[in-house]
Structure 1
Amino acid sequence: HPAMQSFEQVFRDKRLAIVHGIGSPNTTRSHFDAQDYMESGTPFSKGTASGWLNRAVGLLGHDALTPFSAVSLTSAMPRSLYGDNPAVAINNLQDFAIQMRGNPSGVKIAAKSFEDLYDQTSFGLLKDTGKESFDALKMLQKADIKNYKPAQNVIYPTSALGNSLKQVAQLIKMDVGLEVAFTESNGWDTHYSQGKDTGIFARNVNDLSSSIMAFWNDLDAYQDEVTVMTMTEFGRTVHQNGTGGTDHGRASCNFILGNLVNGGLVHGNLPPLSAENLEDGRDLPVTTDFRSVFSEVADKQLQVNNNHVLFPDWKGSQIGVMKS
């Protein structure tokens, strides 16, 4: 897509891979159910309490975890980070840190009071989340949050995604023990006026690629330690609808960026777009189970390869999106 030119060079440098035909074996077209199934890592079970990424953090070993081992730069905790292992959702690092600024003695008293309130609650999730948030706040007190300067010549988009990724880069450089980070890009439910070279879709893919590349270039010396992976719960219909948009579909594509990535390639299988190859005569068929890619990234980036824990009941195999 001409709006994704930011990705061209890194693809040619073989650091960016594309996976086509990726999706869930569950055929639901509900945003909420599809996202829940994918982020839990159990596409046929609604009863899974934890998210696959939280379980991955648990497999790293509790002795190595910090309040910032798993961070979501969102206002609410994503489904993938639900679970027993420490995780914190932060909408904005600067605002999060400011909550504990002020007279040192007053801050200490206030913090102790709130911690006591959380300790007294009988609701386990609230108690654990409160403790993790306060531990994270204490770590941020030692950092100069608001004066962060990206690497030379790096300019982040002013979008929500660009701002979130800039803060992820900041956490990485602060060396707070970050292992996994989550953020989101909204506005892809293009049922009308989707556009092609211009319009809603073009703006979205431009922001996605530009934000990710600003983040990647900002990391500089940290690039060997980071892999970026996109995900979406499902794709869109092949043909446009009557309002110039597309409706909920099946397969989509993922982008994986990093020095450990088997890049410069389009992985997966995408049959010709003739009617007989489309699912229900309208959708790209799912030819790569999302767990094949998620498990491979967890294996090579995090050295976590216990698929019995990450993706129960899955018997598939990896597809070679990461270097062996």
Structure 2
Amino acid sequence: METNRRIFLKSSALAMVGIGSSPSWLSRTLYANDARSPRKKILVAIFQRGAMDGLNVVIPHGEAAYYDLRPNLAIPRPDGTPDSAIDLDGFFGLHPSLQALKPIYDAGHLAIVHAAGSPDPTRSHFDAQDYMESGTPGAKSTSDGWLNRALKQETRRSGVRAVAIGDEMPRALRGPNDAIALASVDSFQVRNAAGAAAFEKMYEGTHDKVLNGTGRETFEAVKLMQSIQKRPYSPANGARYPEGKLGQEMMQIARLIKADIGLEIAFTDVRGWDHHVNEVGAKPAVGQLANLLAQFGQALAAFHTDLGDRMANVTVVTMSEFGRTAKENGARGTDHGHANVMFAFGGGIKGGKVYGEWPGLEREQLYEERDLDVTTDFRDVLSELVVRHLGNPRIVDVFPGYDQPKFRGLVSA
């Protein structure tokens, strides 16, 4: 009988609030039983869905085979012109649309890991994304995601420890630990303020300590989001987010970080990277890929500028399910490949460097004689961030069956 009463009260509280298209946000938050407490370190994960062409994002301009394989797609070698690669180290260069990230790289806050990816050979978007988000390549039976498992078990925690910006909970955040999906901070609303106040008094009046505590935290969570809404958000330090999806979602994440709500993990994704046809336009430096990269680079740079000194405790990591073929196809595009490139940036990152072993692009060096080979398991990169940034040493729990990752030295000790 008492259990039913608790369920009734919690359900009634849920009925008092609404959050647009993301009911999982409040459901997770209101059922959290531990008090809010701010966290020192935050990890932001960005998934580039569709299989980004890493070879045209971080260009191996020092390798002649790159230009042989891509006569119509290859980004010209660095020569100082707007359409040429932006040199990083004499061998690799950034796509010219990523100019906004070059100052972060030069400041030593952006690290790049090339030839990174999954050891699983699938070229299925669905399977590869599932494996990368579950953190268990080749295993379809894993029920939860690596980001959910990365949350340390603690007795006192925030109900908003992990947030996905979007309408649905991503695979990477599904699991037993508290995680929420939120379309935007401003999508949260209280439907009936008077009714909510009455229920808050009812919670406070009960002698049941567990129920009283849960009820109080329920309405503290409601008030917390209301308080964030009441503070109009203006990016700091002259930061200007682009108007596209990623830019606006990175601004939402920055807003939550600055609210000091105890956030530890944030997730967002950006789609549209599957360029079988017309990856480039009239010249290699323009077109579909260039447009996406401009939004991507500007969004990340604005986030870095906006957070300012707070970036000392924030790390951003990017990933895509697999790369593209080393050789261009006959439609000015590329097909499903194997290895790709990952970015990591933040105050604790030892950047200004391209990490990983470069496998080469000669035919005998390619995976199955067609793709860039994987020389860095994506779990090596993520494991280092989990251990050295988030402070969770339980890699065997975060990435089951992968208990000896090879750290690349991305994170300052």
TM interval, short-chain normalised: 0.7 to 0.9
The aligned length equals: 300
> Displacement, 1:238?
1.1
* Percent of aligned positions that are identical: 42
CA distance in 2 between partners of 1:277 and 1:77 (Å): 39
CA distance in 2 between partners of 1:81 and 1:245 (Å): 32
Moved over 6 A (4+): 109-112, 132-135
Specify the code of the residue in structure 2 equivalent to 1:63. T
Q: Deviations over 1:43-96 (max 9, x none)?
A: 121111111110111x2x33232121000001111111010000000112111x
The equivalences for 1:1-324 within 5 A come to 1-57=95-151, 59=152, 61-95=153-187, 97-98=188-189, 100-101=190-191, 103-107=192-196, 136-144=221-229, 147-195=232-280, 196-314=284-402, 315-324=404-413
- Equivalent residue of 1:29, what SS? coil
> Displacement, 1:318?
1.1
CA distance in 2 between partners of 1:111 and 1:242 (Å): 65
Q: Which one has the bigger strand percentage?
A: 2
Q: Deviations over 1:135-168 (max 9, x none)?
A: 7544202223572111031110001000000000
> Displacement, 1:297?
0.7
Query: Is the 8 Å Cα contact of residues 94 and 145 (structure 1) preserved in structure 2?
Result: no
Specify the code of the residue in structure 2 equivalent to 1:104. A
Give TM-score, length-normalised by structure 2: 0.69
Decide which moves more: 179-188 or 144-153. Answer: 144-153
Specify the code of the residue in structure 1 equivalent to 2:278. S
Query: Is the 8 Å Cα contact of residues 23 and 234 (structure 1) preserved in structure 2?
Result: yes
CA distance in 2 between partners of 1:133 and 1:25 (Å): 43
- Equivalent residue of 2:270, what SS? coil
CA distance in 2 between partners of 1:40 and 1:69 (Å): 19
- Equivalent residue of 2:253, what SS? helix
Specify the code of the residue in structure 2 equivalent to 1:65. R
CA distance in 1 between partners of 2:335 and 2:230 (Å): 41
Larger radius of gyration: 2
Query: Is the 8 Å Cα contact of residues 383 and 407 (structure 2) preserved in structure 1?
Result: yes
CA distance in 2 between partners of 1:135 and 1:296 (Å): 35
Q: Deviations over 1:211-257 (max 9, x none)?
A: 01101110012111100100111111111212211111100000100
CA distance in 2 between partners of 1:135 and 1:83 (Å): 24
Label 1:76 to 1:111 Cα distance change in 2 as closer, same or farther (>3 A).
Answer: farther
Label 1:201 to 1:146 Cα distance change in 2 as closer, same or farther (>3 A).
Answer: farther
Any stretches of 5+ residues in structure 2 without a counterpart? 1-94, 202-216
> Displacement, 1:110?
9.3
> Displacement, 1:134?
8.4
- Equivalent residue of 1:257, what SS? strand
Give TM-score, length-normalised by structure 1: 0.88
Specify the code of the residue in structure 2 equivalent to 1:237. T
